[in-house]
């Protein structure tokens, strides 16, 4: 029999997941998660892990609580280790205590991994400290949705009303008129500041500040719905002064990242740091070649090469994989000059102890050709490890200049087997504001996966291209690049997107 881990998954921001929680998700046999646990955390699970969704949304129970209890007990008794992911903290209005009691009753060993609770995190992301020496020295966490089967309410509204504590209500937005009314009836002043934070800590967070007297009306006007945290107390008046999260330049903006899954993280992370809701839609898969005999022969003949030109991070990685297969390392490049297109490619080389001899001022093939000509590439032997299919302008121009050029495929790119339904649903819901393209092939593959006619239905969606070559490819589809950075890099693309949106 294995252990059940009752894990607090935090309020939604992936960065607020604890290290212990991540370790357990990575190792457990079964992951059971609910509606408020960020589905991004499932990326940490083992490929062979069993993933089970038991969410409850707006009264719609995918699996009732008693069946959830039975499920995790059965999995543990079958010898499985179980990561039971619960939004926030499992013991703060998460019914974790009930699940723990059932596990004890069944004789199943368990551990509890506390999580960051929304009652602290959501206010903090909205600029509201739940305690502050100028306002209050205590905080009270209260459910806004009691068990309807209870004979008597557990609330003492008179105590809440007369208390100077910050009051934080969970799951109470539907009962907001009742909550505000009871507090005022108990003696809380009508002008007491009240804040609501919806989807706290996530890219679609929104907040508002009102007063006890007006909050129900204001929330209805702004269509505030669950999941929302309600904060009552003077600390709410600090929101405008201390707000930081909702000032992020891309907060709430939906951005599609079309890079290969292996390369998407850099752009996705930059956009998320700016507050964007990122939709990863890899249009390319990067695959090894079926046969590396030609690459092995080229590596063993590096003594006759004057210049190695790397056009991508993938080219560096796959080339070094084959160096290792041949029992060699960076020393095999002794005497060979090395060029890299772009800072990311240069950085990948430096990780392997190779400082490029040449990085062009502009990260396109044309600039590489000009720079190498200045360095006397004429008559020299040039080896270009790259994708099996790529633009030919670099080898053609170098050959025209008198270089002895050999293109060496070290990997290939293929059309990703990607289902566009999530993107189409998000488009129809108005959640996507921009689509990013980091290469011509991402443009071509995007429209292979998602029909051009579909995109034409959403003229407000903006297209961001990393450079003029990619923009030119987009133009072939009759679409303009609305956003294009001055520096043709991933950080440049992210910065241009933030400035434009």
Residues 171, 208, 274, 455: which is the catalytic one?
Answer: 171
Burial class (CB in 10 A: 0-12, 13-18, 19+), 137: exposed
- Asked whether 434 and 255 are in contact (CB, 8 A), the reply is yes
Tokens of 88: 């926030």
* Strand, coil or helix: 458: coil
Residues 13, 29, 34, 89: which is the catalytic one?
Answer: 34
Residues 22, 56, 388, 475: which is the catalytic one?
Answer: 56
Three-state SS letters, 234-290: HHHHHHHHHCCHHHCCCCCCEEEECCCCCCHHHHHHHHHHCCCEEEECCCEEEECCC
Tokens of 224: 């505030």
Q: Which strand (E) or helix (H) includes residue 177?
A: helix 176-186
* Residue 150: active-site member: no
- What is the pairing mode between strands 30-33 and 50-53? parallel
CB atoms within 10 A of CB 177: 13
* Residue 274: active-site member: no
**Block residue for tokens 């903290």:** 89
Q: How far apart are the first and last CA of the chain?
A: 53
Residue 215 CA, chain-centre distance (Å), reads 33
DSSP 151: S
Q: Rounded CA gap, 259 and 269, in Å? A: 13
Closest CA to 315 of 424, 210, 388, 367: 388
- Asked whether 119 and 131 are in contact (CB, 8 A), the reply is no
- Residues with Cβ < 8 Å from 243, sequence gap 6 or more? 126, 127, 207
Catalytically active residues are 34, 56, 171
């Amino acid at each position: 029999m294995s252990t059940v881990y009752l894990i607090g998954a935090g309020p939604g921001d992936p960065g607020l997941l604890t290290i212990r929680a991540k370790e357990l998700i990575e190792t457990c046999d079964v992951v059971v998660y609910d509606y408020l646990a960020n589905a991004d955390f499932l990326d940490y699970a083992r490929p062979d892990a069993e993933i089970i969704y038991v969410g409850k949304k707006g009264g719609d129970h995918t699996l009732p609580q008693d069946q959830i209890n039975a499920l995790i007990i059965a999995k543990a008794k079958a010898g499985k280790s179980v990561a039971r992911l619960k939004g926030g903290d499992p013991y703060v209005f998460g019914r974790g205590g009930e699940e723990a009691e059932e596990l004890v009753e069944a004789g199943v060993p368990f551990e509890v991994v506390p999580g960051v609770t929304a009652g602290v995190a959501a206010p903090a992301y909205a600029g509201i400290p739940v305690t502050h020496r100028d306002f209050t020295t205590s905080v009270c966490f209260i459910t806004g949705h009691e068990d309807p089967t209870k004979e008597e309410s557990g609330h003492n509204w008179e105590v809440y009303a007369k208390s100077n504590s910050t009051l934080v209500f969970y799951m109470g937005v539907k009962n907001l008129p009742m909550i505000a009314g009871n507090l005022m009836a108990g003696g809380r002043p009508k002008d007491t500041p009240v804040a609501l934070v919806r989807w706290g800590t996530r890219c679609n967070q929104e907040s508002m500040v009102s007063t006890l007297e007006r909050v129900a009306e204001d929330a209805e006007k702004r269509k505030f719905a669950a999941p929302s945290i309600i904060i009552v107390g003077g600390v709410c008046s600090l929101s405008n002064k201390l707000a930081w999260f909702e000032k992020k330049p891309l907060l709430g903006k939906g951005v599609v990242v079309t890079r290969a899954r292996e390369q998407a993280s850099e752009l996705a992370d930059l956009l998320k740091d700016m507050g964007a809701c990122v939709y990863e839609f890899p249009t390319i898969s990067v695959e090894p070649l079926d046969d590396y005999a030609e690459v092995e022969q080229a590596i063993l003949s590096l003594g006759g090469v004057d210049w190695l030109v790397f056009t991508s991070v993938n080219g560096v990685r796959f080339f070094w994989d084959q160096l290792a297969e041949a029992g060699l390392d960076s020393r095999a490049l002794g005497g060979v000059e090395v060029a890299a297109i772009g800072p990311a490619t240069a950085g990948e080389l430096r990780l392997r102890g190779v400082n490029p001899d040449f990085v062009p001022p502009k990260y396109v093939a044309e600039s590489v050709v000009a720079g190498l000509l200045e360095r006397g590439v004429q008559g020299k032997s040039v080896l270009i490890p790259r994708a099996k299919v790529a633009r030919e302008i670099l080898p053609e121009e170098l050959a025209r200049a008198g270089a002895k050029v050999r293109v060496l495929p070290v990997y290939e790119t293929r059309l990703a087997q990607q289902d566009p339904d999530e993107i189409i649903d998000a488009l129809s819901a108005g959640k996507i504001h921009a689509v990013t393209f980091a290469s011509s092939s991402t443009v071509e593959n995007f429209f292979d996966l998602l029909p051009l006619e579909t995109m034409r239905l959403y003229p407000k969606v903006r297209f961001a291209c990393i450079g003029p070559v990619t923009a030119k490819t987009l133009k072939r589809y009759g679409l303009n690049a609305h956003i294009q950075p001055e520096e043709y890099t991933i950080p440049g693309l992210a910065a241009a997107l933030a400035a434009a949106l």
